[in-house]
Amino acid sequence: MKKLSVPMIKLTLPALAAGIGSMALAATAPTSAQAADAFSIGVPGVPPVFVSAMVYTAKDGGFYKKYGLDVTVKPFNSGVGAAKAVLSGSVDASISPTAPVARMISNGDVPLVAIQGFEKPDWFLGSMDPSKNKCEDLKGQAVGVDSPQGARWTQLQNMARACNLVPDKDIPTVNLSSNVGAAMVAGQLTFGVLHLDDIPVIERESGKKLTIVLEIEKTAPGTHYTSLVTSSKTLKAHRDKLVRVVAAHIEAIKYMYDPANFEKAGGYAKPTGRSLQDATNAVKMFTEFGYWSNGNPGLDRKRFEKTVQIQEIVGKKTKGKSGIQPGKKPVSYERFADLSIWKDAMALADKSK
């Protein structure tokens, strides 16, 4: 066997030391130089609604890459559809509305777990006709929603409780994914369930002032908006990935809350279909609103329990046709949320500064 020369040994040892150092780093926070781990996230709406801007900032802003992740973002017609894709294994996680997810777990004991949340709902019921400005005016009138028992449908249900009207019984619904605003601008609908950022776009493109008929924070104050959910199977098999995903979200959200980054974050939000100016304005609007939970897991217990309580009331009133079915045990906060992922993700983000 040929012996290594002394110079070669001197070159080999530092290389070996560097390799050991790289292995130690890999055990903590993966770097972009390493092979990235594949991960997929389902987002609500086609095109995606603006809560997804956080995911696109994490992706295109390099935050997933920083934590050794190659993330694919998959839009679905609704957050409920995205949650069902998590259950089927089509995606690893999804941003899905808390109320329907809580209903799914309560009624069917489906293995969904929330690991991060976005607490404050921004739902409005808008009208293109200023003379139709009361809850009672919805009776018999078509209202644009996302999908049957999806997020917009559920919030219509919550808001219309103020005048004892029920979607698809007293109020016909039209399923349009995230294109409700566009249908209102085109004159195809008078009423629609909208997000905060839909309003200025509708008013500019239609040249009309939108009338706000109902607001979720007035008709059902203190409810929880949406959550990042995964399956218990994925949580068990890929916990490390989930911690890194949430660490990337923590950094992306912090980035978005800096006014110096509003325009860049607006650019990353291009898949939502907003123009750069509209997206930039939406980032400013939503950070002022506190849309993305900054520095906390976004899974407030009181908001969650209020959301479940409403779903339980609706279930009793509709005899289980919607809401939590009578006789089913409402999902507990402990069953719904795993806060340990966010805790570990926050520690990892702090360590990676």
pLDDT for 26 equals: 41
Judgement on whether residues 182 and 311 belong to the same structural domain of the protein:
no
Task: Give me the average pLDDT of each 10-residue run along the chain (353 residues).
Answer: 37 37 41 78 97 98 98 97 98 98 98 97 97 98 96 96 95 97 98 97 97 96 97 98 98 98 98 97 97 97 97 94 96 98 98 88
Extract the runs of DSSP E, i.e. beta strands, from 108-157: 112-118, 124-127, 143-145
In this structure, the answer to whether residues 84 and 141 fall within a common structural domain is no
pLDDT for the residue 29: 53
89 lies in the same domain as 66: yes
Domain encompassing residue 192: 124-219
Q: If you count them, how many residues does the chain have?
A: 353
Q: How far is it, in rounded angstroms, from Cα 122 to Cα 208?
A: 21
Residue 25 lies in a domain: no
Q: Which residues contact 201 (CB under 8 A, 6 or more apart)?
A: 181, 274, 278
Same domain, 243 and 316: yes
Residue-level pLDDT at 353: 82
Do 214 and 233 lie in one domain? The reply is no
Q: 119-132, pLDDT tens digit by residue?
A: 999 999 999 999 99
The answer to whether residues 97 and 230 belong to one domain is: yes
Residue ending a domain, among 219, 237, 270, is 219
Please give the Cα distance from 159 to 154 (Å, whole number): 9
What backbone phi and psi angles, to 5 degrees, belong to 286?
A: -75, -30
- Within-domain flag for 148: yes
Q: Determine contact, residues 329/106, Cβ cutoff 8 Å.
A: yes
Structure confidence at residue 231 (pLDDT): 98
CA distance 93 to 115: 10
Which distant-in-sequence residues (6+ apart) come within 8 Å of 184 by Cβ? 126, 128, 144, 190, 192, 202, 206, 210
Q: What is the pLDDT of residue 34?
A: 63
| CATH (domain of 100) | 3.40.190.10
Write down the pLDDT at residue 15: 39
Answer yes or no: are the C-beta atoms of 150 and 79 closer than 8 Å: yes
User: Is 167 part of any domain?
Assistant: yes
* Strand 93-97 relative to strand 37-44, pairing: parallel
Task: Give the end of a domain, one of 219, 241, 276.
Answer: 219
Q: Pick from 203, 219, 235: which residue ends a domain?
A: 219
Of the candidates 156, 211, 144, the one whose C-alpha atom is nearest the C-alpha of residue 182 is: 144
- The confidence score (pLDDT) of residue 27 equals 41
Nearest to 44 by CA among 118, 94, 119, 115: 94
Looking at the structure of the chain, the number of domains it has is: 2
Give yes or no: residues 181 and 210 share one domain.
Answer: yes
Tell me how far apart the terminal alpha carbons of the chain are, to the nearest angstrom. 48
Asked if residue 18 belongs to a domain, the reply is no
* 4 in any annotated domain: no
The reported pTM is: 0.87
C-alpha radius of gyration, the chain, whole number: 23
Report the Cα 56 to chain-centroid distance in Å. 12
Q: In terms of domains, do 99 and 238 share one?
A: yes
